[in-house]
Amino acid sequence: MTTVMLDLPTTFLKEYSFQIVISIVFISAVSLTIFISLAIYKWNTRHISKLAEAMRVIGAGDFGHKIALNTKGMIVTLVREINDMSENIDNKFKKLQTISYNLFSSIELNAALKTSLDAILELTGGTVGLIMLVNDDETRLDFAMAEGIKPKIVGDDIFIRHGRFAVQLSNDFREWIKNPANNRIFSVEDLNNIPAATHIMEWLNAAGCDFFAPLLLKDQLKGFFLYSCELRGSVNFLNTLFYQITMAIENARLYHLAVTDGLTGLYNHGYFQMRLKQEFQRVHRYGTQFSLMMFDIDHFKKFNDTHGHQIGDMILREVAKILKYQSREVDIASRYGGEEMAVILPETDINGAAKLAERIRLIVERYRFSHNLKITVSIGLSYCNSKAPADKETLIKHADIALYRAKAEGRNRVCAASNE
């Protein structure tokens, strides 16, 4: 009995000590768990805060922003994906900025058309593209610009790879294309079962293209874009892109109408004077040179009196067509007034101008005009460099004197003025 009473406190103390140890271990484990959890929470919170701040910066428009985190695990994958997304957006945004700037800085119609076509081919990686514009009453198509194919124009007909384009637009087609639901990009597969789009299928097949986009502006049909490779992106992005292209082309077209002579298609007198002034400024600033060609249709009044003004207008149009075809892209061919036309020849000396003038004179002489009429032209040339003449009025006067001399010497010839 005495032995039992002496052993109880010892057993109790051992059990109590064991419980204390267990409690201490448990409390330590819980404390360590809480500490680790708090550390992980703070670590994650810090990185998540950095991610949130980076997304705020990117969302504000800084698409070139990069996230830099010294960490591992799944969060690294998330950071990499965000950085890649930001870089892709930044590249596309910069490309669209360049395209937009080029589009709206191209005030010349041909430049706007070329910029638009280049933009689509660059975005798609394609090699074939075609732009067709419609006339003011939306009944007829006219060829505007192409890349990768060479349309041939014969009279009012347009041929591509021996396929003939239908240039007249039907009422059914105009109603169909102006439906807001159809203001989008179409593939060949989309158009197969659309009766109103038969013409489009003909154009696509002839041009070797697979995609078609209408150019619409304020419910008015301006033209069509045909291209070979798919242009990817959201519907809003694609619609915005083609709307910008349409606006740029329309602005350039309106400007072209303002500076173009309605009868001949040459630049008008006002535009000629403006460009002549600019060439003079370039000469005196950079020490360049240029020549001026002025020519007159021989006995034009006689043709008008004998055959009527309609025949006279026809002669003016056909001579202007020869002039435009023979001129370089940088030359400024203009209708100066009446039957008199003028061409500014940048970076061209008097000998180069004389060769071009003689070629034009010879082509006109040999050309078979309507009603079997024989036409000749007299041409006067003048030349400008940094030494002479002093102003553009004197340059025009020199060319006029040379033109009068060509007429006085028997017409159908080229005469050059001296700068002396």
DSSP 80-138: HHHHHHHHHHHHHHHHHHHHHHHHHH--SHHHHHHHHHHHHHHHHT-S-EEEEEE-TTS
Give φ, ψ of 319 to 5 degrees: -65, -40
Mode of pairing for the β-strands spanning 211-217 and 186-187: antiparallel
- The closest of 188, 184, 165 to 176, measured between CA atoms, is 184
Q: Is residue 292 within 8 Å of residue 415, measured between CB atoms?
A: no
Whether omega before 389 lies within 30 degrees of 0, making that bond cis, reads yes
What confidence tens digit (pLDDT) does each residue in 367-393 have? 988 788 899 999 999 999 888 787 889
Q: Is residue 214 within 8 Å of residue 221, measured between CB atoms?
A: yes
64 CA to centre of own chain: 26
- The closest of 246, 268, 309 to 120, measured between CA atoms, is 246
Active site residue ranges = 339
Residues of the chain with pLDDT under 70: 1-93, 96, 154-156, 162, 419-420
Q: Which residue type sits at 309?
A: H
Residue with tokens 């075609």: 130
Predicted pLDDT at 298: 93
220-227, strands of its sheet edge to edge: 141-147, 129-134, 220-227, 211-217, 186-187
Largest CA distance in the chain: 159
Q: Distance (Å, rounded) from C-alpha 184 to C-alpha 199?
A: 17
- The closest of 397, 330, 256, 303 to 319, measured between CA atoms, is 303
Q: Distance (Å, rounded) from C-alpha 242 to C-alpha 103?
A: 11
Cα angle for residues 127, 130, 131 (degrees, 5° grid): 145
Could you tell me where the DSSP H helices lie in 106-234? Answer: 109-124, 171-177, 188-191, 198-207
- The closest of 382, 415, 263 to 334, measured between CA atoms, is 263
Could you tell me where the DSSP H helices lie in 128-268? Answer: 171-177, 188-191, 198-207, 235-259
Looking at residue 196, the DSSP 8-state letter turns out to be G
Q: Distance (Å, rounded) from C-alpha 361 to C-alpha 36?
A: 94
Predicted pLDDT at 308: 87
What confidence tens digit (pLDDT) does each residue in 142-182 have? 888 999 988 877 666 788 876 777 778 888 888 898 888 88
Mode of pairing for the β-strands spanning 152-154 and 332-337: unpaired
- The closest of 121, 94, 365 to 245, measured between CA atoms, is 121
